[in-house]
Amino acid sequence: MAAWLYLVASLVGAWFTWNAHFPRRGRSLSVPSFFAGWLTAELALHHIAWQALATVLFARRGALRRPAGKLGLAVTIASWIGLGAAVATWRSSGDVVDDAVTDALGPDFRDQIREDERQMLSRPPRRGLNVLPFMFSDPDVVVARNIRYADGAKRRHLLDVRYPKAGVSGAPVLLQVHGGGWTIGDKGQQALPLMNFLAARGWVCVAANYRLSPKATFPDHLVDLKAAVAWIRANIAEYGGDPEFVCVTGGSAGGHLTAMLGLTAGDPEYQPGFEDVDTSVAAAVPFYGIYDFLDANHMHAHDGMQMFLEHAILKADPDDDPDLWRRASPIYRVGPQAPPFLVIHGANDTLAPVGEAREFVAALRAVSTNPVAYAELAGAQHAFELFHSPRTAHVVRGVSEFLAWVHARHVAARAGGAGTGTDAGVTALHV
C-alpha cells in the first residue's frame, strides 16, 4: 500500500512540475493551470524539499522495495530534473531584466543614477526571504494604513503609505495598483517585495484600493486611482515624499490600470471634479497586464475574457460601443508623450496573453519619445512576483534601477529649471 501511495504522490508532484513548464490555456484550464504553475515555478526548491521528505518517509515504510515504489522514485527524480530547469529560469530572469533596461536606457545607465541611490540599491535583500517567501514585514519600513484619499466608497477609497523608518525628505514616490480582475484585491496583498525593498532604501510607496466591479463600471477604477495621485500631490510630503515625482506600477488588472494612468494624464474624462489636477506620472511599470480589450489580433486563447469585460467591467457590447472599448485599452492610447515604460510579462502566463504585451510594447515604441523597456521572463506565470523568490529578487532589483534612472533624470531636469508642475490644493476628492 505504501508503494502505491508513494507512486500517486510522485505523479501528483510530477504533474505540478509538468504544468509549470507546459501550462494549459483552455477556458476551463487557464485558472487551475495558473495556480499549479505559479506555486511550482516560483517555489521549485520548496517542491523538491517536500518531495524529498516524502521519499524518505515512504522509503522507511518499505515503499521503494516494490515495483510501484521504484516507479514512483523514477517519476520523482524526473520531477526534480524539471524543477531544476525551473530554477535555471530564475537565474536567467536577472539577465533578461538587465538586458531589457540596458537596451532601453543605454549601457551606461547605472552611471547616471545618483550616487546615494546607487549605494542604497546595492544593499542586499534581507536574509531568509527565499526560505520564508511570505515574510513581508520589514523592520526598516513603517506602514501608515487606511488613509482616506477621497470621499465616497468608505472601504475602497483608502490607501497605505510605506516609508523608511529612519525618515526621509523629498523622496521619490511609487504608487502601487493591485490586481484581481477589477473585481477583487486589496492594497495590502500585492507587490510587497518591491514596495518593502524600495521603502527600506529611501522611497515612499503608496498602495491604494479602488472601487471594484461588478458594482463599479469602468472608468470608476481609473477615476479612483487618479484621485489617489491627486492625494499624493497634496499630502505625500507629510510622509517624506516628493509630490513632483510619482511613478506607478501594478500587475494584471493593476497592470492595465498602470498603463492607463501613464497614458491618460490630464484626461478630463477620468478626472471629474478635479480636471485641473496634475495626474501625470514619471514612469509606468505594468506587470502582466491586459492591453487590448477588443483583442483585435486574437491573442486570447478563448472568448472568456471579452465576455467577462462585457458583462462585469465595461457593461457594454463591443459591437455597440467599440469606442468605449478602445478608450479603455492602453494599446489605443499610446502617444509621443507617454512616460518611460518598463513592461514585464511571464512567457508562461495563462491568464494574460504574453502576445498582447509584445504588441503593446511595439505600439508604444513606435510613437513614444521616452524609453520603453520590455522584459519577457521564461518560465514565469501570472503573478510570479507576489511573494519572495530568486526571480522576484532579480526583477525587483531591475525595476528599482529603472526607476532610479528615471528619478535621476527628473532631478537633473529640475536642477536645470524643467521641474514638473503640481496642484497641491487637494486633500480628499469627492469620487
pLDDT at 119 over 80: yes
Residues 6+ apart with CB under 8 A from 210: 156, 157, 177, 216, 220, 221, 224, 225, 228, 257
Domain ranges within the chain, ordered by starting residue? 2-90, 108-430
pLDDT at 171: 97
pLDDT at 367: 98
CB burial of residue 417 (10 Å; 0-12, 13-18, 19+):
exposed
**373 contacts 103 by C-beta, under 8 angstroms:** yes
Which residue numbers are catalytic?
252, 349, 382
pLDDT at 302: 83
Give the whole-angstrom CA distance, residue 180 versus residue 201: 28
Confidence of residue 427 (pLDDT cuts 50, 70, 90): very low
Q: What is the dihedral of CA 187, 192, 194, 196, to 10 degrees?
A: 110
Q: Give the tens place of pLDDT for each residue, 135-157.
A: 999 999 999 999 999 987 788 99
Give me the mean pLDDT over the 156-171 stretch. Answer: 96
Computed over every residue of the chain, the mean pLDDT equals 93
Q: Give the tens place of pLDDT for each residue, 205-237.
A: 999 999 999 999 999 999 999 999 999 999 999
Q: What is the DSSP letter of 340?
A: P
pLDDT at 301 over 90: no
Give me the mean pLDDT over the 328-356 stretch. Answer: 97
Give me the mean pLDDT over the 33-56 stretch. Answer: 93
Class of the CATH-defined domain 108-430? alpha beta
Give me the mean pLDDT over the 406-428 stretch. Answer: 68
DSSP reduced 3-state for 323 = helix
Q: 257: closest CA among 333, 204, 198?
A: 333
Give the whole-angstrom CA distance, residue 168 versus residue 296: 46
Between 430 and 422, the more confident residue is: 430
